[in-house]
Structure 1
Amino acid sequence: MKELQEYVHDLPMHTRVFFSLVEATANLVDVSEKYWQSKGLNGARIRILVELMKEGGTMLPSMLAKKIGVTKPNISLLLIPLENEDLIRRASHPKDGRKTVISITSEGQSLLLKYLPENRQRIAEKMKVLEEQEMKQLLVLLNKLR
């Protein structure tokens, strides 16, 4: 028991940094998720709509799953409510009819335009503890970890 206590309390620098990064990320995600919940929305579903827009509005489900870090079966489950709410549309791939493409609808785009600005503002408020140069430095460091 004493050996385990020492192991969990005497953390090497890389482990302390890792846990600090995880905690900071969780706090920021919590701010965003609480915002989406206050609007009756789901952050994971919003992320799908944002990723679709980043790719010009259309992408393969497998690519979308990879972008948001979920399995192919899970992406299908996430897409169902978005399709039911007419925020996305599924269609046959124009060159390979065996594949399906996902497209954001005008309703999905309108939803993002309506709610993304305030969500981004809330995140910006939390990030104000960092100066511009610190944010640039953090971005460089995070990109190194990728």
Structure 2
Amino acid sequence: MHIRIERGSSTPISRQIMEQIRAHCLSGTLQPGDSLPSVRKLASRLGVNVNTVVRVYERLAAESLVEMRHGEGTFVLHQAAFSENRQQMAEQREQLEREFSAVVHQGLLLGLTAAELRKLLTTSIAESKRELKTEAATRQ
């Protein structure tokens, strides 16, 4: 599971983590029954406080996306539990579109051409696909 934190963002780190894990669950990147990294492991990997990850997992459990089992870990719940979260996924998509528009606008202000922006996007897509493929392979 790949999570990218934007340290300079106005969005709190806990929210960034939560939204990305939620997106992984709703998109099927994380399948029902998959275990999430331990709280300590994810906190260490992301360079955040353990309490931040605990709060994220607790919020996701409250949304019925994951189940926290004492002593066992945190696991993705079945797809049936996701139906009420489809609206949240749509809202996240709208947010992504706004952020993408802002990035394009900033690139144009910096003097990048449409071709340069497309090249940056293509490169980013390829990198993300490689990361997702690597994650999927390590889960199996």
TM-score (norm 1): 0.47
Larger Rg: 1
**Larger % of helix: which?**
1
TM-score (norm 2): 0.49
